[in-house]
Amino acid sequence: MSFFLEESDRLKALPPYLFVEIDRAKKKAIENGKDVIDFGVGDPDGPTPDFVIRAMRKAIRDPWTHHYPLDRGNALFRRAVSGWVKNRFGRSFDPESEVLPLIGSKEGLSHLPLAFLNPGDVALVPDPCYPPYKSAVLFAGGEPQLLPLKEENGFLPDWEAVPAPVLKRAKLIFVNYPNNPTGVTAPRAFYEKLVGWAVKNRILIVSDLAYSEVYFGKERPLSIFEIDGAREAAVEFHSLSKTCNMTGWRLGFALGRREIVDRLLRIKANMDSGVFTAIQHAGVEALRHSPSFTRKANRLYRERRDALVGGLRDLGFPVRPNEATFYVFTGLPGGRADSTLFCKNLLETCGIVATPGVGFGAAGEGYVRFALTVPVPRIKEAITRMKKSF
């Protein structure tokens, strides 16, 4: 007997969530006895560092942390965020009014459109992209206008190509560099042009900087706020998930001018009760020690990247080393075009999980994403399996 209530139009409008589908296929393969090598979801395979765990143990023993957290978050964590941002990006934010703790950056990114979009408003969304950008816009009653990210353009969006009637209805533009899924970074000139355009057109830049600390070159990825004028037209989201292997802890933060942060806070105050205070205390230590931790993590990811890229090249993938993030995004080998079919066959014949590019958007078709969350010996095993299959 079916349930008596039909799902909402909002749910009907959503495509299947990519990572749920991948996890379902992986579990089925494991149940069938396959030794699965998982390059799918971007979840660091290493543990959360001890300095975070020690801080959590201490904080959780304090009964004061057991109560509802404050909507605006714990002052110690907000001050730690402000200090970290000042040291990392050279920009000052008032911890009392311009910093907002989040239950992971995904939560903040998902809530933000509710604060700024009315039905019929447009948000400019990159394609391919992290899927919650589109779903958050749809939940808010907005219309996603997709901006194709093309390899020949360095996987950077061309907002000048947006038709004038659509641009008039646009309120937000999402940008994400270092980029998931492509692994590329954006140059200063890109941000300068973007900020000038956004101020002129009164469009809010939603900068997702979750991968700011995972990079391999000498130049560290930029914050949008390192660009003059960005405070007029930007809000930025950060996450400790990748910075300190804290994916399960759900801790991030938003930065921006008071008016933007206050509107997001008003949405959150009606939707959730904030981040568990003990986790915020642990986040203070995470930020304090993150520079040394991320240097070690990046050396590990670089070693894995080089092993995977070299192996994929030998197999005929048109792959280029990623500049940042722990993702390798590559076109398919041998003229293949269907990324879903390719990943399905990869799992069935090789026991390897990878993410089809089309799952991040139509412009991702013909590509596949590998997460560098697999040790080098298993990467080599995966390459060996593919050699036998291809």
Span 149-182, pLDDT tens digits: 999 999 999 999 999 999 999 999 999 999 999 9
Express each pLDDT in 56-83 by its tens digit: 999 999 999 999 998 899 999 999 999 9
pLDDT at residue 372, as a whole number: 98
Q: If you average pLDDT over residues 238-253, what whole number do you get?
A: 97
Please say whether the beta carbons of 171 and 138 come within 8 A: no
pLDDT at 13 over 80: yes
Q: Is the domain covering 50-290 a CATH 3.40.50.720 domain?
A: no
DSSP string, 284-325: HHHHHHHHHHHHHHHHHHHHHHHHHHHHHHHTT------SBS
Cβ-contact 255, 238 below 8 angstroms: yes
Secondary structure letter of residue 348 according to DSSP:
H
- The pLDDT of 303-316, averaged and rounded, is 98
Distance in angstroms (rounded) separating the CA atoms of residues 180 and 176: 7
The predicted pLDDT at position 335 comes to: 84
What pLDDT, on a 0 to 100 scale, did the predictor assign at position 50? 97
Torsion of CA 117, 122, 123, 125, to 10 degrees: 150
At 221, is the pLDDT very low, low, confident or very high (cuts 50, 70, 90)? very high
283: amino acid identity, one letter:
G
Model pLDDT, residue 64: 94
| Structural domain boundaries in the chain | 9-48+291-389, 50-290
**Residue located via tokens 């000048």:** 160
Say if CB 81 and CB 99 are below 8 A apart: yes
pLDDT of residue 21: 75
Residue type, 62: D
pLDDT for 33? 86
Average pLDDT, the chain: 95
Q: Take residue 281 and report the two structure tokens written for it.
A: 């205390």
Tell me which residue of 85, 106, 323, 119 sits closest to 206, measured CA to CA: 106
Of the candidates 152, 153, 154, 172, which has an alpha carbon nearest to the alpha carbon of residue 162? 172
9-48+291-389 sits in which CATH class? Answer: alpha beta
Residue with tokens 């109560």: 67
- Residue 7 CA: distances (Å) to CA of 11, 14, 261, 321: 6, 11, 32, 43
Q: Which pLDDT score, from 0 to 100, does residue 18 have?
A: 67
Dist CA 346 CA 352 (whole Å): 6
pLDDT band at 1; cut points 50, 70, 90? low
Q: What average pLDDT does the segment 131-142 reach?
A: 96
Inter-axis angle of helices 277-314 and 75-89, nearest 10 = 40
Higher pLDDT, 217 or 381: 381
Q: Are 256 and 281 in contact (CB under 8 A)?
A: no
Q: What pLDDT band is residue 389 in, cutting at 50, 70 and 90? A: confident
Confidence check: pLDDT of 16 > 90: no
Q: Name the pTM for this structure.
A: 0.95
pLDDT (tens digit, 9 = 90+) per residue, 181-196? 999 999 999 999 999 9
CA pair distance 184, 168, nearest whole angstrom: 29
